[in-house]
Amino acid sequence: MTLVVDLGQSGSRIRTGDTSINSTRGKLAGEHPLPALRAIFESTEKLSATTVALSCTGFGGVVTDPKPFLDLCKEFFGASKVAVIDDGLAGFVGALGGSNGVVLSIGGGVVSVGGNNSHFAHRDGLGSTFGDEGGGYWLGKLGLTRALGVRQGRGDDQILLDAFADSVLAYDALDVKNATDAATLAITSAKNLLAAADAGSPTAISIRNEGAYLLAQTVTATWFGAGGLADDSPEIAIQGGPSRNPAYVNAIQSNIAKVISKANFVQARGDNLDGAQWIAENMHGDAKPLLAWAGN
């Protein structure tokens, strides 16, 4: 039996057989994936599996030593083998099913993985302090920052302030304004930024447009990093929470098409769990630095 896990910044999912578990516990800002997984497994019902595939945010494209992850999965599931997977690779495999192209995953953070005839490239995934440009944290932080400024009279974008009304109240309720709860608030506020842009907020539209431009740069850099060319026709899938906003996706695609004019924009065929499942069943060796196995 194989058990697959998708660890994200805004939550996590577990699937084995017919059992599916969703948790609001994700990887906290500054936290390594290992303690985050332990916290999730401690609150999960008792499960058993011989093989565990872990799709994890937080590696930045370089998976760390898989042995501690095997020890953790032995402890909780009795597993004898574990595949530790950068979430970008899991998303790529799940979304495109082996086709040449790029998968851009936008959650609280950003990771982009491209594949071109078995040559892989990974871009961004640098974390919220120095990267993840255009992702949920980035959008929410900039939007809430400007909304708080408007409340203080540093600007007059009432549409923005109205859209962020609940986030402003949540900010006021924070005991510590720059701890992990603040980072979580930024991520959850991304939807407010995109809603404000849809409602016509000039500030939000400017932030959304910048985010779309930066994400398009990430995608094109990924394709070129995998050996692709500007006149190729790669499949490109965009997935994750902020991608549910059509205007944001359209803006990203428009910027990509300015560089890769024949890009074929497709819907993801599957997600990180599907990718992790396929990797566990079909990729039985390491694919450094994005995949590492441990066990018998």
Neighbours of 228 (CB within 10 A): 23
Q: What is the pLDDT of residues 241-292, one digit of tens each?
A: 899 999 999 999 999 999 999 999 999 999 899 999 999 999 899 988 889 9
Q: What is the DSSP string of 122-175?
A: EEE---TTT--TTSHHHHHHHHHHHHHHHHTTS---HHHHHHTHHHHHHHHH-S
Q: How far apart are the first and last CA of the chain?
A: 15
Residue 268 phi, psi (nearest 5): -60, 135
Kindly state the average pLDDT of the residues 30-42: 93
Beta bridge partners of 124: 111
Give the pLDDT score at 128: 85
Taking a C-beta distance cutoff of 8 angstroms, is the pair 193, 208 a contact? Answer: yes
Q: Is the per-residue pLDDT at 98 higher than 80?
A: no
pLDDT confidence of residue 118 = 78
Instruction: Tell me the pTM.
Output: 0.81
> Measuring CA to CA, which residue among 291, 95, 133 is closest to residue 221?
133
> In the chain, what are the domains?
2-90+271-295 (3.30.420.40), 98-268 (3.30.420.40)
Q: What radius of gyration do the chain's Cα atoms show?
A: 19
Query: Tokens 């872990």 map to which residue?
Result: 54
Distance CA 201, CA 269 (A): 34
* pLDDT confidence band for 296 (50 / 70 / 90): low
DSSP conformation class of 287: B
Alpha helices in 226-270 (DSSP H): 246-257
- Look at residue 180 and tell me whether its pLDDT is greater than 90: no
Q: Please give the angle made by the CA atoms of 240, 242 and 245, to the nearest 5 degrees.
A: 115
Would the pLDDT of 11 be above 70? yes
State residue 2 phi and psi, 5-degree precision: -105, 135
Lowest mean pLDDT among 35-39, 155-159, 238-242: 238-242
* pLDDT confidence band for 12 (50 / 70 / 90): very high
- In this prediction, residues 20-36 reach a mean pLDDT of 90
pLDDT at 29 over 80: no
φ and ψ at 49, to 5 degrees?
-160, 145
Distance CA 261, CA 33 (A): 37
> Cβ(109)–Cβ(132) under 8 Å?
yes
**Is the bond into 289 cis (omega within 30 degrees of 0)?**
yes
Q: Is the pLDDT of residue 114 over 90?
A: yes
